[in-house]
């Protein structure tokens, strides 16, 4: 979906296909047929933007066989679909029964991450519509926080610098400008926008217009970041926002109440990690997953103080060599998460269907962020992607049981996003 901003530029709205993950090219083609085109038809649009997730094997098939790439481009055109952005965060296995910490591997210290992201950029340059010259790829925010050392940070910075050079060469060759956005996420070495600014600007820094930040509004809300402060810090540092992901987190205003804890427990599931945070007078505290936050006092790992949650399972603070002492759990802390202040959990809930009381979603944070991104005289980003990948991880009574019901839900999310954009003065294009 395309929108005209008041400055005359085009803003693109898509939805991310990691909601129906496929590991192979055949699986991607089936996605387009079984899911993406039905969503487009429900919206009554001739053209729909999708943010493709291409797993390692699918990307390899496309880079190794130009005929397959041409066939994918033709299939997109035939089904009324277009691609201006890719989700390059998960490398593979996003449809597995248990994803959890695996989604952070390989990280930016590994050559596989650089090679895969390079492939994605080259593929995107070939998939962009003929009248579009800019593409974006969101990626892992360097790596999980433990273990993360100065050596790891230097290796990741070198890899991103190499990528920037390759993207410069790609534009010279194709005329297409592809930018990468580090996607801050709770628990990662780059958890917040402030972390991203530090990672991209601290000496020796990584001053490249090719590398910026992908702003995910669920992650922003989970870490209790203020959208205006976050965007102002990026602007002050000269860091671009190649892409924003429109998503909402789970919010519990009164987590000490038994009925609230019972409602939260329904969202604790075995597939994805649901980092949970609360903002106290002592600072941001959190756990790596929702069950840890809900653990009764005297059971489970302790919550951490400061801006980082507890260490990954199986690691002691001494083993987690990337964490400073302030980031490690305090042995004197009680297990579980303090419950005198509101909690937010990294669970992407459907935009149009917030959880029933006593829970809520952080949709207001999305609204505020979107207004700051595209409501001004010039858009801060031109690529927006609805990313609710957790439909099948919702409590059983909220999961779509058929493809048709899933398509209905995705179409409803896109309709809500469209309405937010038009309320901000953008005009939908045919």
Q: Are 45 and 78 in contact (CB under 8 A)?
A: no
Residue 176 in tokens? 């297409």
C-alpha closest to that of 210 among 156, 152, 151, 170: 170
Mean pLDDT by 10-residue block, N- to C-terminus, for the chain (430 residues)?
A: 98 97 95 98 98 98 97 98 98 97 98 98 98 98 96 96 98 98 98 97 87 98 98 97 98 98 98 98 96 78 46 30 31 71 98 98 98 98 98 97 98 98 97
Is the model's pTM score more than 0.85? yes
Structure confidence at residue 296 (pLDDT): 85
Structure confidence at residue 425 (pLDDT): 98
Structure confidence at residue 297 (pLDDT): 59
Structure confidence at residue 326 (pLDDT): 26
Q: Are 78 and 36 in contact (CB under 8 A)?
A: no
Share of the chain above pLDDT 90, in %: 89
Structure confidence at residue 301 (pLDDT): 58
Residue carrying the six token digits 């976050």: 230
Spatial distance between the Cα atoms of 207 and 401, rounded to a whole number of angstroms: 47
Structure confidence at residue 256 (pLDDT): 97
Alpha helices in 3-96 (DSSP H): 25-31, 37-43, 56-64, 66-78
- 149: which residues sit within 8 A by CB, 6+ positions away? 321, 322
Structure confidence at residue 299 (pLDDT): 52
Spatial distance between the Cα atoms of 236 and 367, rounded to a whole number of angstroms: 22
Start-to-end Cα distance in the chain: 8
Alpha helices in 295-402 (DSSP H): 363-374
Structure confidence at residue 205 (pLDDT): 75
Structure confidence at residue 304 (pLDDT): 57
Structure confidence at residue 21 (pLDDT): 86
């Amino acid at each position: 979906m395309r929108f005209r901003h008041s400055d005359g530029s085009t803003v693109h709205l898509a939805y991310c296909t990691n909601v129906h993950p496929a590991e192979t090219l055949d699986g991607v083609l089936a996605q387009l047929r079984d899911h993406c085109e039905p969503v487009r038809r429900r919206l009554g649009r001739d053209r729909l933007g999708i943010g493709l997730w291409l797993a390692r094997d699918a990307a390899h098939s496309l880079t190794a066989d130009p005929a397959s790439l041409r066939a994918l481009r033709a299939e997109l055109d035939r089904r009324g679909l277009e691609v201006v952005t890719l989700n390059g965060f998960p490398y593979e296995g996003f449809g597995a029964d248990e994803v959890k910490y695996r989604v952070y591997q390989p990280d930016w210290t590994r050559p596989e991450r650089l090679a895969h992201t390079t492939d994605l950029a080259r593929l995107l340059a070939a998939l962009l519509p003929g009248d579009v010259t800019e593409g974006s790829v969101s990626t892992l925010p360097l790596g999980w926080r433990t273990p993360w050392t100065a050596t790891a940070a230097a290796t990741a910075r070198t890899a991103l610098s190499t990528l920037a050079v390759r993207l410069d060469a790609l534009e010279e060759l194709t005329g297409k400008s592809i930018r990468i956005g580090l996607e801050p996420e709770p628990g990662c070495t780059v958890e917040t926008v402030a972390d991203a600014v530090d990672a991209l600007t601290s000496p020796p820094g990584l001053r490249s217009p090719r590398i910026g930040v992908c702003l995910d509004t669920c992650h922003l809300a989970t870490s209790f970041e203020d959208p205006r402060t976050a965007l102002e810090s990026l602007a002050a540092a000269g860091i671009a926002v190649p892409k924003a992901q429109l998503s909402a987190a789970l919010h519990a205003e009164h987590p000490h109440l038994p009925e609230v804890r019972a409602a939260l427990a329904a969202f604790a599931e075995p597939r994805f990690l649901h980092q949970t945070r609360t903002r106290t007078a002592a600072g941001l505290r959190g756990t790596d997953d929702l069950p840890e936050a809900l653990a009764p006092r005297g059971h489970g790992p302790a919550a951490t103080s400061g801006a980082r949650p507890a260490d990954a399972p199986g690691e002691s603070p001494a083993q987690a060599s990337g964490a400073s002492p302030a980031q490690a759990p305090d042995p004197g802390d009680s297990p579980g998460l303090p419950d005198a202040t509101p909690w937010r959990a990294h669970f992407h809930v459907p935009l149009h269907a917030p959880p029933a009381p006593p829970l809520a979603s952080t949709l207001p944070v999305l609204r505020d962020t979107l207004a700051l991104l595209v409501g001004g005289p010039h858009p801060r980003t031109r690529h927006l992607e609805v990313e609710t990948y957790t439909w099948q991880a919702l409590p059983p009574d909220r999961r779509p049981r058929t493809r048709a019901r899933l398509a209905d839900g995705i179409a409803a999310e896109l309709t809500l996003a469209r309405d937010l954009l038009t309320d901000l003065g953008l005009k939908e294009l045919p």
